[in-house]
Structure 1
Amino acid sequence: MGTERFDVLRGQVRGQVVEDDDPEYEVARHVFNGMVDRRPAAILRVSQVADVMAAVRFAHGLGIDVALRGGGHSAPGFGTVDGGLVLDFSARRGVRVDPAARTARVEAGATWADFNHATHAFGLASTGGIIGTTGVAGLTLGGGIGYLARKHGLSCDNLISADVVLADGTFVTASETANTDLFWALRGGSGNFGAVTSFEFRLHPVDMVHVGLIFYDAALGADIGASYREWLADEPEEMGAFLGFHQGPPVPFLPEEWHGRPVAVVAGMWTGDVDAGPAHWQPLLDAGPVLGSMFAPLPYPALNIMFDGLSGVPGLQGYWKADFLRTLSDDALRVAVEHSAGIPTVHSANHFYPIDGAVQRVAPDATAFPYRDVRFAPVIAGQWPDPSENSQNISWVRDYWSALHEYSEPGGYINFQDTDDQSRIEANYAGNYARLSAVKATYDPDNFFHVNQNIKPAAAAAADAVAPPTEGAPTF
């Protein structure tokens, strides 16, 4: 089955090419965000690097769009594209650990659950996502905020090298000693510069950690947030914990009458001596009336998958917004409390992730990720099952973000942004955007890789600067 033009591709690859007359097409075309309903001309289930090289050349020759799908978690649905070719890496999930060198080589389809399972066998880890179903590739290329960021930096700060297929179908390795400008751009510049087929990471000793979850009435969130802000500033970098606002989840340590009601939560882990963990959490137990809590020494991977049943559910409708905060101000906390009553479902959340410590010890221009002088990255992640509620829930996210943005930096974290945030791309990269645009012009001058939060090649960016503005609107 299939069309003649994709039969040419079939003859050049080992992976399966799925078209719309294939019984597997409906499953193959869907991505994590159920709001995204696109119909690619074909999906290539990548088998090896040679497939990627052949597919890029093939698509370039036909002049069709290419989307790169790793974990598939992109909120805007950048892992698919109407009428184009999807390179689906989901079967390429291998992780090879070198325990002596404390490094790991990871394929582009691996999730953080895959990564942590492999590295934990050796008592090692690196900064990864908050939930296990998130893809290693997308998170790292956009920066990579996680529980270990205060101690070990962002995911991209732990990247040693990357194998990349460029827009002309050639293969290169980028590192501190080879294709250094490309390596700089990959660390935060997202999928703009090529199809990364594998990543090499630096690992750190992380084994058993002391996990803590503490719930409070969201109405007290301003006071709890202020206590959290002061507590975290005094805590060693071994403490990684975020402040969030949720609907109370159906967990046994939260009273049933609080299930589905607005709550504030502090969640995270102490990675120092496990026996010392309780003392480090105690100030938050004293910060205000606690509705419920859970503390336990757990393997690090257990925390990484703990929220997968809430936020890691594929097929939910989803719409996200993000910023950076220089500090978790009283005004920002007031806005969070005011909007907490409208949290759509138990799957939705507003989190404030700390990015101080090791993140700030990297210079703003050392990698593409520029916001090294802010302390928090807030995300407003709306997720719900019913498409009929899209309009009202998108409005809640937008209204919340608009109120919070008054106290935020101009840019935000691209991994937490949606399709209608393209206009913020230069602000997201601040002083690094011009260099990123120049690197793009070197490695992808025709903007072949543009299904992303797009950085235009320098020449194209200059042309756009003198072009008349056009009308545009989010596709929701």
Structure 2
Amino acid sequence: MRAVFALAAFVALPSICSGQNTTKLKEQFIAENITALFQNDVGYVAASHNLRYTVEPIAIAYPITPEQISAVVKAGVDQTLNVVARSGGHSYIANGLGGTNGSLVVDLSRMKSITVDEATGNAIIGPGNRLGDVALALSDAGRGLPHGRCAYVGIGGHSGFGGWGYASRMWGMTLDNVLSAEVVLANGSIVTASEDSNPELYWGVRGSSASFGIVASLEFRTHAVPSSATAFEFLWEMDIPTASNAFIKFQSWALSGDIPLEFGGEIGFLKGSSYGLVQFAFLGNYFGPADSFNSTIAPFFDTLPPPDTAAVTQGTWIEALAAIAVGDLNTTTQPDSNDTFYAKSLMAPQTVPLTNASMTSLVTFLAEVGFNSSDFWHVEVELYGGNQSAINQVNFDDTAFAHRDTLFTFQPYASSPNLLPPYPNSGFSFVDGMVSSLTSNMPNDWEWGAYPNYIDDRLLGWQRRYYGSHYDRLRLLKSSVDPHDTFHFPTSIEEPQV
């Protein structure tokens, strides 16, 4: 399946305020030996991963130490600039560039150290590392983390807001494995956030990190990699009744209690070859013994017709990750890609499963309205829950992540026809329609959530959809560590109402 990558709607943005003193900024950066690029400098590139957005920061700074991050933050505060962190740059709505013109971007791409303690297995990871690079480095030490399969996503943002991957039912979200973080606050101080030091900040950076400071390094609990692993991807073309029944069976299997924690996967929908058809994909990783893979998936797989295509790779942990990854795990082999798209999310609670009517409604919408769309599109239905899933075993208030009762996370995604701007207005209503086809067939009081790493600046009531009842606590933390809203972007945590 195609990767789910970056951002959201093209808007006209104001020019950078002429009152901002770029000369002073340059002098401050030179004094601290900080590399920074300003508009008209050779190499200044502020391209968003999602080309729907055109954003021009006042400057992009490239610190290499926490002390340099502190100096950048202080320089931004001195001119009352919005300061934002950019790790991998895959924010769906260009939050890593500030979302609007004139922000000061702290680009962390040069902070890429990774060290693994041989005794504990804990790893100190720089926030500028991409997921593929993290996977390779940890694998060399026989260790692993749960994280997404898009190799180019940055670990800083990924772990700051969630971090789901095929190992998450076994090991939790990426953020669940953060033991401590080194954070630069708005006053320039460099602090440690952990259970024993600044525990409230530690709570907040595991769910809404970028609103409270710039994370300079992360300490992770890593895991011994399994002795074998399987990557799989099966694809069918199905009519509406067959695909709807397959979707229903997938939920039944997820709720049955028969899925071991070593299984991680999702189903996906893509455009069919004719009206009334969809492509139905079943893909993921299995981290149990290779000879038990077929029996593990059999309760679901045996309810389906024979697949049109099948790809199964069995080998080591890293071979299985590479087989299902989007992009080369070694991200230096080729440049990152761009797209022009709109994406949303819906996190479906396990306590109130999807109705058959809602699942059939989504499939019907995709097979009919989706076929007539000129956009490239897909819907991913990621399995979070099931019996004893590590994601849902974490106490609700232990981290700022607010969705500990999730069964599935949906990600509907549509690109422009040629993947380039302009983005068609019809794309917004099409993606919105994917979500409403589900919600309109669920109870009116259905408490669905949304995933902060699939950020959508058109989502009404985003504060509660993303953060649930944790939002008020997050606002109090914001007022404590960033009272002047220095770390501001379109969906940053808001200051408490006075």
TM-score interval, normalised by the smaller of the two chains: 0.7 to 0.9
- Distance in 2 (CA, whole Å) between partners of 1:375 and 1:307 is 23
Find the partner of 2:213 among 179, 190, 194: 194
- 2:425 alignment partner AA: S
Displacement after TM superposition at 1:218 (Å):
4.4
| Partner deviation per Cα, 1:291-346 (whole Å, 9 max, x = no partner) | 21111214434454535259x96221021111211234423322331232427689
Matches within 5 A, 1:437-448: 437-448=475-486
Structure 2 residue aligned with 1:170: 189
Structure 2 residue aligned with 1:386: 420
Find the partner of 1:451 among 489, 493, 498: 489
- Distance in 2 (CA, whole Å) between partners of 1:400 and 1:128 is 26
- 2:364 alignment partner AA: E
| Partner deviation per Cα, 1:378-414 (whole Å, 9 max, x = no partner) | 1112234132443222221122122223435343111
C-alpha contact (below 8 Å) 2:230/2:320 kept by paired residues = no
Structure 2 residue aligned with 1:275: 291
Q: Give the TM-score normalised by structure 1.
A: 0.88
Judge which range, 177-186 or 391-400, deviates more: 391-400
Structure 2 residue aligned with 1:33: 50
Structure 1 residue aligned with 2:384: 355
- Distance in 2 (CA, whole Å) between partners of 1:347 and 1:32 is 17
Q: Secondary structure at the match of 2:414?
A: strand
Unaligned runs of 5+ in 1: 249-256, 464-476
CA, structure 1 residues 37+388, in 2 after alignment: closer, same or farther (shift >3 Å)? Answer: closer
Find the partner of 1:367 among 399, 420, 431: 399
CA, structure 1 residues 149+425, in 2 after alignment: closer, same or farther (shift >3 Å)? Answer: same
Displacement after TM superposition at 1:230 (Å):
2.6
Matches within 5 A, 1:128-167: 128-167=147-186
Q: Are 1:229 and 2:251 an aligned pair?
A: yes
C-alpha contact (below 8 Å) 1:247/1:345 kept by paired residues = no
Q: Secondary structure at the match of 2:204?
A: helix
Structure 2 residue aligned with 1:395: 429
Structure 2 residue aligned with 1:330: 356
Q: Secondary structure at the match of 1:331?
A: helix
Q: Are 1:300 and 2:335 an aligned pair?
A: no
Displacement after TM superposition at 1:425 (Å):
0.8
- Distance in 2 (CA, whole Å) between partners of 1:247 and 1:103 is 43
CA, structure 1 residues 346+162, in 2 after alignment: closer, same or farther (shift >3 Å)? Answer: farther
- Distance in 1 (CA, whole Å) between partners of 2:111 and 2:194 is 22
C-alpha contact (below 8 Å) 2:84/2:210 kept by paired residues = no
Task: State the aligned residue count.
Answer: 446
C-alpha contact (below 8 Å) 1:243/1:353 kept by paired residues = yes
Displacement after TM superposition at 1:87 (Å):
0.8
C-alpha contact (below 8 Å) 2:290/2:314 kept by paired residues = yes
- Distance in 1 (CA, whole Å) between partners of 2:38 and 2:81 is 15
Q: Secondary structure at the match of 2:365?
A: helix
- Distance in 2 (CA, whole Å) between partners of 1:55 and 1:404 is 45
Structure 2 residue aligned with 1:77: 94
Q: Secondary structure at the match of 2:93?
A: coil
Displacement after TM superposition at 1:278 (Å):
2.5
CA, structure 1 residues 74+155, in 2 after alignment: closer, same or farther (shift >3 Å)? Answer: same
Identity of aligned residues (%): 26
Displacement after TM superposition at 1:462 (Å):
1.8
Q: Are 1:288 and 2:304 an aligned pair?
A: yes
Matches within 5 A, 1:458-469: 461-463=496-498
CA, structure 1 residues 50+238, in 2 after alignment: closer, same or farther (shift >3 Å)? Answer: same
Judge which range, 398-407 or 49-58, deviates more: 398-407
- Distance in 2 (CA, whole Å) between partners of 1:345 and 1:102 is 49
CA, structure 1 residues 246+388, in 2 after alignment: closer, same or farther (shift >3 Å)? Answer: same
Displacement after TM superposition at 1:236 (Å):
0.8
Matches within 5 A, 1:48-67: 48-67=65-84
Find the partner of 2:464 among 426, 443, 446: 426
Q: Are 1:242 and 2:261 an aligned pair?
A: no
Structure 1 residue aligned with 2:117: 98
Structure 2 residue aligned with 1:474: none
Structure 1 residue aligned with 2:232: 212
Q: Give the TM-score normalised by structure 2.
A: 0.84
